[in-house]
Amino acid sequence: MLVIQPRPQPSAAGGLDFSSLLNAAPTPPTTSSSIEPFVYYPSMSFEEAAAYNPHPRNMVQLLFAKEHLWKELHYHNPKLGMALGAVRNNLEEAVRVWQQYVVQGSIQKALLQTQHYHRDRDMKERLQRNPNDAEAVEYFRQQDNKKLVQQQYLQMMEEYPESLSKVLMLYIPARINGHEVQAFCDSGAQMTIMSKKVAMECGIFDMLDDRFQGIASGVGTGKILGRIHLVQLQLQSPDGVQYHFHCTITVMDDAVEGAKDMPFLLGLDMMKRHQCQIDLEKGVLRFRIPPTQHLEVAFLHEKDLDESQGGTKGFDAALANARWMQEDEGKNQDALDES
């Protein structure tokens, strides 16, 4: 059961602290005893963490305490992650960096609003002078469209807020011949597919029947090396019990586009064989165990998925920072060369 603590109340100053940017005397830091603990629950995403922890100190402490959120920050915003990482041992300085990041975003928004106000006023004056001014008429037509889009956006945020969140593909943890794999559950694929590389890693490539060679066609085309007729797909129940399901796998050449990014795909053929049910409400793939039992395997969260599958598992923040700095230096050098 999820229990969400009340959000911390804004300071007496009325919200964001602009003092660091305006060279005014900063407000004395709030004592930790007056701040409620950060809000957290398992599998919380970075966006959810920011929404439930509006106080900068709480947010920074949560980022430092939860490694998967720290990785998500570096993954989605490496520049901010690098700035916080440089002062990770100084909580007060880290809070200041986070506040500055929020304030800068607020100031940029205010500047855009000011520009829009002046543009809107100029167009109104032009329309008063000439009701047939084509540019002014088109401007206000676009503004009406934007208002309609904004109304739809607000309605969507109220009724379907999950539409804005990152949608992960459906993966389940599994083992084949003792080798851990992340199985992509694709009910739109006719066959269960594995790359040659993973088949060799699992020690099952020698069982390949090359009489079933061919060409796979769909979004793209690729070479089918053959088929492995009988493989034990090992799955684990929530209480730790191991189950084995017979599985037939078609092996694709590694040269096929996307084979490395999708090393094992559980297709419709095996899902129908085991009468699987994709339960998005519970977040599980349900396998039927005759005669009447079922095994529920939970879909993997972002923190549990490899980077190649769109997750943050194994994400190296230091390496990402170094790559970002190298790219930034390259951009700066290109700008100097152009000047």
Closest of 54, 67, 64, 72 to residue 88, by C-alpha: 64
Dump pLDDT digits (tens) for 12-44.
Answer: 334 444 444 444 334 444 444 455 688 888 777
- First-to-last alpha carbon distance for the chain, in angstroms, is 59
Q: Give phi and psi for 297, each to the nearest 5.
A: -115, 120
What fold is seen in the domain 171-309?
Cathepsin D, subunit A; domain 1 (2.40.70)
Dump pLDDT digits (tens) for 127-155.
Answer: 999 999 999 999 999 999 989 988 887 78
**Distance separating alpha carbons of residues 258 and 67, to the nearest angstrom:** 29
What is the identity of the amino acid at 254? Answer: D
Selecting among 186, 210, 254, 269, the annotated active-site residue is: 186
- Catalytic residue at 253? no
**Distance separating alpha carbons of residues 204 and 198, to the nearest angstrom:** 9
Can you give the pTM of this predicted structure?
0.53
In the chain, domain spans: 12-129, 171-309
Cα dihedral 16/21/24/28 (nearest 10): 50
**Distance separating alpha carbons of residues 110 and 101, to the nearest angstrom:** 15
Which of 121-130, 145-154, 225-234 comes out lowest in average pLDDT?
A: 145-154
